[in-house]
Chain A
Amino acid sequence: MAALRVSDLYKRFGALDVLRGISLSAQERDVIAIMGASGSGKSTLLRCINLLDIPDAGEVQVAGELIHMTFDRRGQRGPADRRQVDRIRTRLGMVFQRFNLWSHLTVLQNIIEAPIHVLGVPRRQAIAHAEHLLHKVGLDDKRDTYPAHLSGGQEQRAAIARALAMEPEVMLFDEPTSALDPELVGEVLKVIDALAEEGRTMLIVTHEIGFARAVSSRTVFLHEGTIVEEGPSRQVLDHPRSDRLKRFLSNSPGGGRATSHLLGGDDLR
């Protein structure tokens, strides 16, 4: 059974068709890189999976459970059961481009908030788990710091810890390093790489070609709302077949090798 299955997803914003029939499935332990030029629908795809954007058509299944959709009186499509959506969202850990930490809470409070108030985990247990996660992302000493006092890389690592605290079955990364200064990109990629090593199921929207090659098992290349190429990352990225992907790869600095060294070696895998 697929950990995540998306079938025939369509999404339109006004006159713009952002997604035009996307189907994708992730088996457990899959790490899928989603690449594409800006405007190709990568982020929207991710946001449609946990229904932050409502797809106009198509289905999403998480671990075999279908998210039920319905139409309201005005013909607007929406979830049939909001509680189901809330429950499924707890199983999908989302990491945003702009971190979106709650600025009025400390790092620790950010991490324990949802486990305590959504999952009902006892406070003491939530804190112990949070401290373990803080150690994992290398922020032991930032536990009582407010987000405004962190660097972008630290904020993103805290946001990853916050998502992990729910013990999600699938992690969704929406351009996790795009808002970071170049020298901070590596520390975040290392954390994500460690999660891949653990065998977590992940979908990563990224521009970091070297990172995708090193960490992801499969790469999906999107163009204008459709999947143009898809397959094992090395094959897709080293031997692109479509002109679109060839052009995309050659336009990227360093031919896509630019970031893999940040992980400590070109041939990490």
Chain B
Amino acid sequence: MDLAIVWESLPRLLEGTVLTLEITGLSLLAGFCLAVPVAMARLSPRRMLRVPAYGYMLYFRGTPLLVQLFLVYYGSGQFQPFLDQVGVWFLFREAYFCAVLTLTLNTAAYTAEILRGAMLAVPRGEVEAARSLGMSGLLLYRRIILPKAFRLSLPAYTNEAVFLLQATSLVSIITLLDLTGVARIIVAQSFEPYKLYVTAGLIYLVITYTFVLVSRRLERRLSAHLRGQPAGGIGNVVGR
């Protein structure tokens, strides 16, 4: 089999890979930062906080990512006068911004759900102990609940990160030249879909497993306090 086309395309594919990683990284970072307050609001006893968080999570987990992407990218055009007025139209004009915004909102909703479960799984007694020592509100979250919830949610969060990485391939539909976008263009020019999509797939695979390995390392470090204890299935984070 002649693999020349693969070698020739590799530099362009790697350029696309850089964009894929960029979009994934930015969305994960912003999404996580957003997910923490959303998850806290979701668990708040106050309706004013709980209900909007619930609605947000319901929408972004209940509708297809592609629809959300179209909604932001094409839908924002309908609000151009308004967006112009508040001075953010120049952002929505960019496919890049629309992609990162949509992916951020989407992953934040899923991450908030993961964090919500993890916060509920923090042992009640440990929270009571903190309360009995005078901790409450944000201090209690910051010092006890969140550090414990982050550890608990790492395996599920790694899955979310992997899903998001793969979901970024959708941004090629709104004109971005990410890994998938570049592969599509080369295919259109060369009529070699098989070789190019297999190559693109392999690159995704390598990134995915790098994610998983890093996460396992992190998990080992963060579970130092449990080492020597019978580990309840800790370690396997791939495959869901």
Contacts and interface: CB of A to CB of B under 8 A. Distances in A.
A113 interface: yes
Interface in B143-188: 143-144, 147-148, 151
A149 B225 CA distance: 8
Interface residues of A, number: 33
A96 B225 contact: no
B126 A102 contact: yes
A50 B151 contact: no
A44 to B, nearest CB: 13
Contact of A86 (B134, B143, B144, B151): B134
Contact of A89 (B131, B137, B143): B131
A53 to B, nearest CB: 10
Interface of A: 50, 52, 82, 85-87, 89-90, 92, 94, 96, 98-106, 113-114, 117-119, 146-149, 159, 162-163, 166
B132 A148 contact: no
B14 to A, nearest CB: 40
B51 interface: no
Chain B interface size band reads 20 to 34
B229 A52 contact: no
A162 B130 CA distance: 11
B22 interface: no
Most buried by A among B125, B126, B132: B132
B128 interface: yes
A148 B228 contact: yes
A94 B228 CA distance: 29
Given A50-B132, A86-B134, A118-B139, 16 more contacts: A52-B131, A82-B137, A86-B135, A86-B136, A87-B134, A92-B132, A94-B132, A94-B133, A100-B126, A101-B126, A103-B226, A104-B151, A106-B225, A113-B143, A146-B225, A148-B228
A133 to B, nearest CB: 14
A90 B135 CA distance: 9
A117 B126 contact: no
Nearest to A172: B132
Contacts of A105: 225
B134 A102 contact: no
B135 A117 contact: yes
Contacts of A94: 129, 132-133
B67 interface: no
B133 A90 contact: yes
B89 to A, nearest CB: 44
B224 interface: yes
Nearest to B144: A102
Interface of B: 123, 125-126, 128-137, 139, 143-144, 147-148, 151, 222, 224-226, 228-229
B225 to A, nearest CB: 4
A89 B128 contact: no
A100 B147 contact: no
Contacts of A159: 129
Given A96-B125, A104-B148, A52 B143 contact: no
14 contacts: A50-B132, A82-B136, A86-B136, A89-B131, A90-B133, A90-B134, A94-B133, A101-B129, A102-B144, A102-B148, A113-B143, A114-B133, A117-B139, A149-B228
A118 B134 contact: yes
A103 B130 CA distance: 12
A205 B53 CA distance: 42
Most buried by A among B130, B143, B144, B225: B225
A253 to B, nearest CB: 28
B132 A52 contact: yes
A86 B140 CA distance: 11
B147 A104 contact: yes
B152 to A, nearest CB: 10
A48 to B, nearest CB: 13
B226 A148 contact: yes
A162 B225 CA distance: 18
Contacts of B151: 104
Nearest to A52: B128
A96 B129 contact: yes
B128 A103 contact: no
Contacts of B228: 148-149
B128 A104 contact: no
Nearest to A98: B125
Contacts of B134: 86-87, 89-90, 114, 118-119, 166
B126 A118 contact: no
Contact of A148 (B123, B135, B136, B229): B229
